[in-house]
Amino acid sequence: MSLGAEQLLIAYRSGVFPMAEHRDDPELFWVDPRRRGIIPLDGLHISRSLARRLRKTDYTVTVDTAFEAVIDACADRPETWINPEIRRLFLELHQRGVAHSLEVWIDGELIGGIYGVEIGAAFCGESMFSRRRDGSKIALCWLVDLCRRAGFTLFDTQFLTEHLASLGGVEITRMDYRFRLRDALSRSADFAGTPLTSGHEVVQRNTHTS
């Protein structure tokens, strides 16, 4: 199927999202999981080792400076659901200012990142990548902190992986997700207008001591 950006946004507002079987499959299909993964914006779990990593000053974080590079890095793996059609659609959403990326850099090298789309006060995380240890974890910690301060009420991860569960991700039912999404769509958030905070503040707000 061939979609436009507005159709894609309608789908996200309805609680469904597209995927491809693999990168070379030109077709997309709609996904509506019975169990949905989310990260509670006040429940991010940061281990002591990750907290120490966040406090280091050897990395920098940016927002929306390398969206195309982030989506390409997320697709650069043996198996991916990001095909050229999804790439095209998200680049269009990014140009419209509703799809965003957060990038982590070390010495000018992009070592981690995450991208997703905002609808109302919901941020739908699509994918993340890491080229060095903890690259994706750093990106997720900064993004969750940014979304919380920007007024988002829902951080959708679509599915719950072991990696996301270790960071505080949980599964909820489809009905619960639809309820939270409906509430988030009735609100607004300010992603673009919310500045990045410092890594130290991220740690202080979200450290989980267990």
Whether 125 is covered by a domain: the verdict is: yes
Whether 85 is covered by a domain: the verdict is: no
CATH of residue 168: 3.40.630.70
Pick the more confident residue, 184 or 202. 184
Whether 176 is covered by a domain: the verdict is: yes
Whether 111 is covered by a domain: the verdict is: yes
- For position 203, what pLDDT does the model report? 53
- For position 197, what pLDDT does the model report? 76
The three-point CA angle 142-200-73 to 5° equals: 30
| Distance of alpha carbon 86 from alpha carbon 104, whole angstroms | 23
Whether 58 is covered by a domain: the verdict is: yes
Q: Flag whether pLDDT at 199 surpasses 60.
A: no
- For position 2, what pLDDT does the model report? 67
- For position 202, what pLDDT does the model report? 61
Whether 48 is covered by a domain: the verdict is: yes
Q: For residue 183, what are the domain limits?
A: 34-78+97-206
Q: Model confidence over 84-124: pLDDT tens digits?
A: 999 999 999 999 999 999 999 999 999 999 999 999 999 99
Q: Model confidence over 30-87: pLDDT tens digits?
A: 999 999 999 999 999 999 999 999 999 999 999 999 999 999 999 999 999 999 999 9
Whether 83 is covered by a domain: the verdict is: no
Whether 14 is covered by a domain: the verdict is: no
**Residue 153: CB atoms within 10 Å:** 19
Number of domains present in the structure of the chain: 1
Mean pLDDT of all residues in the chain? Answer: 92
The three-point CA angle 99-169-114 to 5° equals: 30
159 to 23, 123, 165, 174, 198: CA distances (angstroms): 19, 14, 10, 11, 29
